[in-house]
Chain A
């Protein structure tokens, strides 16, 4: 039986771009400075100041547009969005209205190795960020910090194509991956460099007309987006089941209480009076520029994810983890250049190496261990001269010092003892020292050999080749 209602979700995502300077002035684009220190006449909107557009903003935004399969407009322009608020020093925001930078793209929502939905991107446009207000209830005053004013943003608007809160979360995961891969943004939701509002409505399953939508704001993590939407699905269902009408409104997600609540004041009441920004000439992008930008795009995460499954036989789970960041995926493929067994590389990468990264709270690109190191280690393992226990130790040492595995193995004399002559001496020694176990074995308890092997390993500090030594015990004591 199909569900009673279909959930319809669209997202509006604001992303701060990774530039050196702000969108219209030379102030540094940096987070976390003392209040009102990253400001100048332009971003403060002082009388007489004028904007000049940052070329990196254009390049990053075009890169994002292409990565989201958008058509980049050959002509686009800036517009002023007029409204009064103390965090907006000019009382207008420079944005783009009827000629956005890019339109009509899509993001392929992949899950478990296949596409579950193509989410249309309606538009991507450029705008400047506003400042920050800090409310002091007690003192009955609000403080304004303009540092964030003029930080470059793109706004990405999806079509109402998402069908569940989980899909919304998945969309954001992929979007973040794409933006990280392309170096467009650092996508740190906790620093506000990625922000997301959601529109959600319900309609009886099987119908096509859109229901009455509610906008949800103030969701500060991907999880919060999902939870806010889940709450809203239940709330709207209850209203509809009771025969009510969902009010078109803006609601605020309350993380602590786990509910959405109506925000006073209607968005619909705003009249932004958009008009072309006369201080900024329009943008006209030609094919040359766009094909150069296309050429500079890296392989995108969706493509890489599918390719890793196909070419390297990775499971969807492995492929997802390894392609979760560009550096990790690069590390994986670079290791394969030194050691071509993808499954083993994947196991060591997602197992041991991940463990080490996690305990040291480091990223793959800020450790001294390189693909060469991992490849060499796996080669030594294959040669059968190093036990896997010792290999883990070598990896850790290599991870910390950046020394090559062979060097470590030699320095510490960790090479496995496989020579029968050498090992036989140890076997004899153990047999002499543990007559009870020997008797046990002779009496028919074949498992007792494990104990003896263990003792031999202990004596050799793990360097004995366990297979060889087991065989030797069996031979010596008679099967």
Chain B
């Protein structure tokens, strides 16, 4: 087995036992990257080889002296390119930030640095996290390692594909309406969107502030728990970060899940779901029951209003968050402008891609005078109802089980001209963002050789028990160990 194939936990254990060094782990993933990255295109920016190796050497030196900052010290990883890294390009996959180097680190960047993990590069994404396929990157689309003709999902498609292709041991993504969970599902990895407020958003370049959360993309559930432990926790620089005691998520793993009460909302198995996805998820439900879990069908009547609600709330906030990209202070400024209005119009029109423009305009429209009540205000009211659905279910059930995405990875280009169909990719995932509750996607099977993910949604701050549940289920599902066929000498369906 190649080093790069290990989970983050196994890599960490090997480091702990001094079987490998961080330098060897780095060499291993850099080798892997040089083999497969041309077919995956998961990175926007790779850090200089020598810089990475120097960092790894330093961590090895410290470890030799008995100093290691965390269990994951020395493990290579990647960050989605909307998380600020000081002096390292942070572009949001947008022309408008093409050369932007932030003068400060995001909270998560700091946390991972303090933990001694090794940043390999910045992961590709849909521009400003707007999209479900990573085709909206201003630079190039990322390919799904399971089938390079297909999309990895989005918007954290780069983060998911890099983990699936063993180019890094784990990565971080951001999830506004499913942007961690949906690509995790399509790439066959584990992706968690924590409770709103668990992970600081300081230094995460905002898409929709009331929905955005940063979460780990990992090879398995244990890795997810370990990474979450590092990035979760109160940060006084984010007013929405919740002051809570730090939790040891790994300590939940391995505990019995017998007696858990799980709700299966029927609305998540109706609109537009592909049969293979339903089968895969139902198969997992059967396994749950075998594990002594009580599963019952429930109704969450406002589910189908989540997506329209999400597209109003999300675009309205985005229209405001993205107004600052005007060519005045940083980033791209269009050449040839004679006055201020021209500076604004040219910079923003040339700097933003079409999906970003579409959403900025939709959000502007929803907030504009005469439409505010009909669109924005109503979406806030609908949001109240959607959260009530969750509160009702959580009075009687510990967890909710649903599919993550209605279909496995789709072919690149297929939905590009049809925004609405693209938006429907998020139909099962936006609810958790609107309600602010945690949700995780874990792979539960293959459909025609493509991974299928199931989603577990929990009560606010109940990540521990969600991970406990997923850890037990993961063992039974038998997906673990399945790898995409992509490799240097392997058969590739597309090498474009």
> Do A and B touch each other in the complex, judged by CB within 8 A?
yes
- A residues touching B (Cβ–Cβ < 8 Å)? 41, 44-53, 80, 82, 84, 86, 89-92, 142, 144, 271, 273-275, 278-281
CA distance A91 to B343 in the complex (A): 14
The 3 closest A-B pairs by CB, nearest first: A91-B323, A278-B210, A273-B367
**Docked-complex contact A84 and B323, CB < 8 angstroms:** yes
B328 at the interface (CB under 8 A from A): yes
A-B contact pairs, 7 of them (CB 8 A): A41-B104, A51-B239, A53-B239, A86-B328, A271-B369, A275-B376, A278-B210
**Closest A residue by C-beta to B330:** A46
**Docked-complex contact A279 and B209, CB < 8 angstroms:** yes
Indicate whether A50 sits within 8 Å of B239 (C-beta atoms), given known contacts A44-B329, A84-B344, A275-B367.
yes
Contacts A82-B367, A91-B323, A273-B368 known; list 20 others, CB within 8 Å.
A47-B84, A47-B102, A47-B205, A48-B83, A48-B203, A48-B204, A49-B202, A49-B203, A50-B202, A51-B239, A80-B320, A84-B344, A90-B324, A144-B328, A273-B320, A273-B364, A273-B372, A275-B372, A275-B376, A279-B209
Chain B residues within 8 Å of A51, by CB:
239
B79 at the interface (CB under 8 A from A): no
Interface residues in B309-333 (C-beta closer than 8 Å to A): 316-317, 319-320, 323-324, 326, 328-330
Write the B340-355 contact mask toward A (1 if CB under 8 angstroms, else 0): 1000100000000000
B97 at the interface (CB under 8 A from A): yes
**Docked-complex contact A48 and B239, CB < 8 angstroms:** no
Chain A residues within 8 Å of B319, by CB:
82, 273
B138 at the interface (CB under 8 A from A): no
CA distance A281 to B243 in the complex (A): 13
Smallest beta-carbon distance B451→chain A, Å:
31
Specify which of A52, A273, A278 is in contact with B236 (CB 8 Å cutoff).
Answer: A52
B100 at the interface (CB under 8 A from A): yes
**Closest B residue by C-beta to A80:** B320
Smallest beta-carbon distance A218→chain B, Å:
20
Chain A residues within 8 Å of B244, by CB:
none
Indicate whether A280 sits within 8 Å of B328 (C-beta atoms), given known contacts A50-B202, A82-B320.
no
**Docked-complex contact B100 and A278, CB < 8 angstroms:** no
**Docked-complex contact A89 and B239, CB < 8 angstroms:** no
Chain A residues within 8 Å of B168, by CB:
none
**Docked-complex contact B84 and A48, CB < 8 angstroms:** yes
**Docked-complex contact B340 and A142, CB < 8 angstroms:** yes
Chain B residues within 8 Å of A41, by CB:
102-104
CA distance A84 to B240 in the complex (A): 26
**Docked-complex contact A47 and B324, CB < 8 angstroms:** yes
Write the B193-204 contact mask toward A (1 if CB under 8 angstroms, else 0): 000000001111
Interface residues in B179-232 (C-beta closer than 8 Å to A): 201-206, 208-210
CA distance A274 to B97 in the complex (A): 26
Chain B residues within 8 Å of A48, by CB:
82-84, 102, 106, 201-206
Interface residues in B80-110 (C-beta closer than 8 Å to A): 82-84, 90, 92, 97, 100, 102-104, 106
**Closest A residue by C-beta to B201:** A50
CA distance A84 to B372 in the complex (A): 19
B49 at the interface (CB under 8 A from A): no
B237 at the interface (CB under 8 A from A): yes
B256 at the interface (CB under 8 A from A): no
**Docked-complex contact A275 and B320, CB < 8 angstroms:** yes
Specify which of B90, B201, B317, B324 is in contact with A91 (CB 8 Å cutoff).
Answer: B324
B238 at the interface (CB under 8 A from A): yes
Chain B residues within 8 Å of A50, by CB:
201-202, 237-239
CA distance A273 to B316 in the complex (A): 9
Chain B residues within 8 Å of A275, by CB:
316-317, 320, 367, 372, 376
CA distance A86 to B329 in the complex (A): 9
Smallest beta-carbon distance B458→chain A, Å:
23
CA distance A51 to B238 in the complex (A): 7
CA distance A50 to B240 in the complex (A): 10
Indicate whether A92 sits within 8 Å of B323 (C-beta atoms), given known contacts A50-B201, A278-B210.
yes
Indicate whether A280 sits within 8 Å of B100 (C-beta atoms), given known contacts A144-B328, A273-B368.
no
**Docked-complex contact A45 and B324, CB < 8 angstroms:** yes
**Docked-complex contact B326 and A84, CB < 8 angstroms:** yes
Specify which of A82, A142, A279 is in contact with B239 (CB 8 Å cutoff).
Answer: A279
CA distance A147 to B102 in the complex (A): 20
**Docked-complex contact B323 and A90, CB < 8 angstroms:** yes
**Closest B residue by C-beta to A142:** B340
Smallest beta-carbon distance A356→chain B, Å:
50
Chain B residues within 8 Å of A90, by CB:
323-324
CA distance A89 to B239 in the complex (A): 20
CA distance A274 to B328 in the complex (A): 23
**Closest A residue by C-beta to B341:** A84
Smallest beta-carbon distance A330→chain B, Å:
38
Smallest beta-carbon distance A179→chain B, Å:
28
Specify which of B206, B237, B329 is in contact with A52 (CB 8 Å cutoff).
Answer: B237
**Docked-complex contact B330 and A91, CB < 8 angstroms:** no
**Docked-complex contact A281 and B104, CB < 8 angstroms:** no
CA distance A51 to B344 in the complex (A): 25
Smallest beta-carbon distance B435→chain A, Å:
15
CA distance A275 to B210 in the complex (A): 12
Smallest beta-carbon distance A149→chain B, Å:
11
Smallest beta-carbon distance B321→chain A, Å:
8
Chain B residues within 8 Å of A273, by CB:
319-320, 364, 367-369, 372
Chain B residues within 8 Å of A280, by CB:
239
CA distance A6 to B364 in the complex (A): 42
**Docked-complex contact A278 and B209, CB < 8 angstroms:** yes
Smallest beta-carbon distance A88→chain B, Å:
9
